[in-house]
Amino acid sequence: MSGGVYQPNRARVAFGPGAAATLATEAGRLDTTRSVVLCAPGRTAVAESLAGILGREAAVVCGAARPNFPESAFDAANQAIGEAGANGFVVVGGGTPIGLAKSVAAATRLPFIAVPTTYSGSELASNWYVGRAENKRQGNDAHALPRTIIYDPELTLGLSPQTTAASGMNAMAHAVESLYGADLNPVIAVMAAEAVRLLGDSLPRCVDHPEDLAARSEALKGAWFAAGFRAGRGLSHAMAQQIRDAFDLDHARTHAVSLPYAVAFNAPAAREAMEAIGKALGAKDAARGLYDLNRRLGLATGYRDLGMPREGIARAVELVAAAKIAHPRLPDVDQVRKVVAAAWAGEPPPEF
């Protein structure tokens, strides 16, 4: 590591149990006097509690968020903001509502506060999109980022073990790929390795004891560290994004499956990163450590377990091979085929 560039995110972060109580203060810092609280339909109770903190005369709830960010959700959110006369907004929940918030912010230029309740890390990525596949509109815009992020682990206590595991491994993928990304620098190296350690240690505890606030705090801190330093798209993210979109698979679980195999592929070209990952996980081999963690958390280890048919492998290879990938080892089509086939089968990752 001879040099590099570090650009910190502009977001102000409030972290810790009870941090959600500071919401009105944070809104005041942004001069937001009238807000809409965006959420998914199943999270309206939490959204209502946040609206209560802001004051009933100052906030309304909009449960428009839907998976895959359809145009209808985007339109409903914008309509709610317009009808409320809002000069800012709040979003609470996981990657789905936060993704909606980012697209709305990119379009309206309104400041918003993100209150994540999962570990996806979407709140610290400036990319946004609406729709999917051939109907997708997308962009990358600093205005899509929240002005303030509130990480309150108390709001994650209701996450099911299955969602906790999948969302946590999605965060793990951000941290791991940052450790061998082309934009690695000393800050990323330290924070990403710590994220791997925090997530590897806390996620099994969160799954076994969902109400363990100390474990939840560690997991959320790990997700924050991982999200803040995500690298350019590596093989794991290329596989996960292309395959889940093509076969309508669960986003986070597809990331969890992809990661050990992409790490095994990169191992010969990123030995320092593999050492850091293995050390953080307490494993001799980085790829096997990640695979075993998936199993420990009760997650699927292969795409076939998520519903991808065997005959879909050829299509998946075509999509992944066409993706732009930025990391130490660039795969050719035959190598992509081997990695995708192994990830479909779900057996322990081999050497590639």
Residue 133: predicted pLDDT = 66
Mapped onto helix, strand or coil, the DSSP state of residue 298 is coil
CA distance 73 to 82: 14
User: What is the predicted pLDDT for the residue at 69?
Assistant: 85
Let me know the angle formed at the C-alpha of 115 by 113 and 116, rounded to the nearest 5 degrees.
135
Alpha helices in the chain (DSSP H): 23-29, 44-54, 71-84, 95-108, 161-178, 186-208, 213-227, 235-247, 251-266, 271-281, 286-296, 313-322, 333-345
Q: Are 47 and 92 in contact (CB under 8 A)?
A: yes
- How high is the pLDDT of residue 87? 97
pLDDT value, residue 2: 53
- The first and second tokens of residue 211, run together, are 């109400």
Do residues 105 and 34 touch, judged by C-beta distance below 8 A?
Answer: no
**Tokens at residue 298, please?**
């009760």
Q: What angle do CA 78, 79, 82 make, to 5 degrees?
A: 85
- Residue ranges for the chain with pLDDT beneath 50: none
Closest CA to 166 of 299, 68, 308, 343: 299
Residue 61 CA to residue 309 CA, distance in Å, equals: 40
Can you tell me the distance from the alpha carbon of 81 to that of 78, in angstroms, rounded to the nearest whole number? 5
And the tokens for 160?
């099911």
Tokens of 197: 């350690």
pLDDT of residue 136: 80
Amino acid at 103: S
249: which DSSP letter?
A: -
Pick the CATH number of 161-345 from 1.10.3720.10, 1.25.40.10, 1.20.1090.10, 3.40.50.150: 1.20.1090.10
What predicted TM-score, i.e. pTM, was given to this entire model? 0.92
Pairing assessment for the beta strands 127-130 and 137-140 based on DSSP bridges: antiparallel
pLDDT of residue 290: 98
Task: Supply φ then ψ for residue 137, to 5 degrees.
Answer: -110, 135
In the chain, CATH 3.40.50.1970 sits at 12-156
- Range 12-156: architecture per CATH: 3-Layer(aba) Sandwich (3.40)
The residue behind tokens 């959600």 is 20
Domain with CATH 1.20.1090.10 in the chain: 161-345
How many degrees, rounded to 5, is the angle at CA 327 between CA 321 and CA 330? 40
Helix (H) / strand (E) element for 92: namely strand 88-93
Q: At what angle do helices 286-296 and 186-208 cross, to 10 degrees?
A: 30
The conformation of residue 201, written as its DSSP 8-state character, comes to H
At residue 289, the pLDDT reads 98
Give the integer Cα–Cα distance in Å for 88 and 37. Answer: 9
Tokens representing residue 114 in the block? 């993100």
Calculate the dihedral angle through the C-alpha atoms of 287, 256, 10, 21, rounding to the nearest 10 degrees.
-120
